[in-house]
Amino acid sequence: MKYSHKLSDAVHVLSYIEIFQDEDLSSKAIADSIESNPSLIRRLMSSLSKAGLLITRSGSVSPRLSRPADQISLLDIYLAIDDSHELLHVDKKTNMNCPVGRNIQDTLNVAYDQVQKAAEKSMQSIVLQDLIEDVLMREKNRNK
């Protein structure tokens, strides 16, 4: 099963920008932290900027959050970077001659919609500031 790291990378980017706001915020520096490619980071930052979560200026390496980190939810970030906005996907190819094959898609669509709504409600309650504080606490504890 293929899955995307875009959400975790987007949270990483925003956290990095907030934590290191007075340091090197180039796409290369951020990419080094994520162990990614600077062009992928620029595309991700562009999505975050278009969604109104990040402020960037062409020709300037000074990205910043568009609002305080305690006002950016995990759901905001998820909606900014995920094109499909679906956590779970139903297999479209089933045997329509089979009672299970004829009905499993509709059955799973209802169940998956419940999961999606619950996940989005949970993501709304998690804010970037809490994630940043957790990162900083873990780093502090690591250095003890």
Dump pLDDT digits (tens) for 5-58: 899 999 999 999 999 999 999 999 999 999 999 999 999 999 999 999 999 988
Place of tokens 């957790």: 134
pTM over 0.85: yes
Contacts by 118-127 with C-beta closer than 8 Å and gap 24+? 119/87, 120/75, 120/78, 123/73, 123/74, 123/75, 123/78, 124/73, 124/74, 124/75, 125/73, 126/73, 126/74, 126/75, 127/69, 127/70, 127/71, 127/72, 127/73, 127/74
Tens-place pLDDT, residues 95-129: 999 999 999 999 999 999 999 999 999 999 999 99
Which residue, among 11, 44, 16, has the nearest Cα to 29 in the 3D structure?
Answer: 16
Residue 1 has pLDDT above 70, yes or no: no
Q: Which CATH architecture has domain 6-142?
A: Orthogonal Bundle (1.10)
Q: Are 15 and 64 contacting, i.e. CB atoms less than 8 angstroms apart?
A: no
Query: 2 pLDDT exceeds 70?
Result: no
